[in-house]
Chains A and B, each alone.
Chain A
Amino acid sequence: MKQEALLYFTDTWLTLLGLVLFFSFFIIMLIRVYSLKKEYFEMMSKLPFKELEDER
């Protein structure tokens, strides 16, 4: 079975590399997201409301 799959696909390393990249990227992203402060998220989520008309 394994041989049959590999017969058609000699670039196994490519898939593996892709998956490794994919998961390590996720881990890094998760670490970063959880290291950010609550105030940052609050500030960001309110960005769309930071609209100031001309006050002159």
Chain B
Amino acid sequence: MSDDKKDIKKLEEHFDGIIEHDHPLPNWWVATFVITVVFSIFYYGYYELLDGPTLDQELSVKMAEIEQQQKDSVGKAFDNLDQDVLKQEFIDKGKVVFAEKCFMCHGQQGQGLIGPNLTDNFWIHGNTSQNILHVIQKGVPEKGMVPWEAVLSAEEQIATVAFIKSLKGTNPPTPKAAEGTEYKD
């Protein structure tokens, strides 16, 4: 045992007389620990054992709210569709939307690529502004046309219809073969 003592003595000399006492745990540290544990117990109790809402319930409340907002915001925007699509400002705006979102499938000039040609007289889902708007909004999922309702604002949707209508008869090079019914007007 004496040798062990000697070792310790040496150690103390090594530390140049600094005698270390065992330091107490910092109070704030203990408090943090206790608070997180107590909070956790209450949190688990409320959400999993008592009346706390489940994630599904929280989601459905939120979704109901959003659906209401969506319902409220629709309605008036499309009232003047037939007049709006003739306005140059809408056509210009629609050109931008088309260049961002539509050209990948319908071609740079609307000549058709993955999706049908938009410049001829043939329409698969009808040729009125309402018809085109409907396809833009709801898409044609079975053929890969994406619904844009959630992506484009009402104004952008009208603008896109306007631009598409303006494409008629532009006769771009390498058009995709005609699909659908011919409409002569």
Q: Spell out A's residues near B (CB within 8 Å).
A: 1-2, 4-5, 38, 41-43, 45-46, 49-50, 52
Contacts and interface: CB of A to CB of B under 8 A. Distances in A.
B113 to A, nearest CB: 48
B58 to A, nearest CB: 12
Contacts of A46: 8, 11, 20
A38 B54 CA distance: 49
B22 interface: yes
B71 interface: no
Interface stretch (B45-53, B86-94, B162-170): B45-53
A16 to B, nearest CB: 10
A1 B22 contact: no
Contact of B7 (A5, A38, A50): A50
Interface residues of B, number: 14
Contacts of B7: 50, 52
Given A2-B49, A5-B48, A50-B7, A45 B54 contact: no
Contacts of A50: 7, 11
Interface of B: 7-8, 11, 14, 20-22, 48-54
B8 A1 contact: no
Counting from the closest, the 6 A-B pairs by CB-CB distance are: A41-B22, A38-B22, A46-B11, A5-B48, A1-B51, A49-B11
A20 B49 CA distance: 17
Given A49-B14, A50-B7, A52-B7, A42 B22 contact: yes
Contacts of B11: 46, 49-50
A36 to B, nearest CB: 9
| Most chain B CB inside 10 Å of its own CB: which residue of A1, A45, A46, A50 | A1
Given A4-B54, A50-B7, A42 B48 contact: no
Given A46-B8, A46-B11, A52-B7, A5 B49 contact: yes
Given A5-B48, A38-B21, A46-B11, 14 more contacts: A1-B52, A1-B54, A2-B50, A4-B54, A41-B22, A42-B21, A42-B22, A43-B8, A45-B20, A45-B22, A46-B8, A46-B20, A50-B7, A50-B11
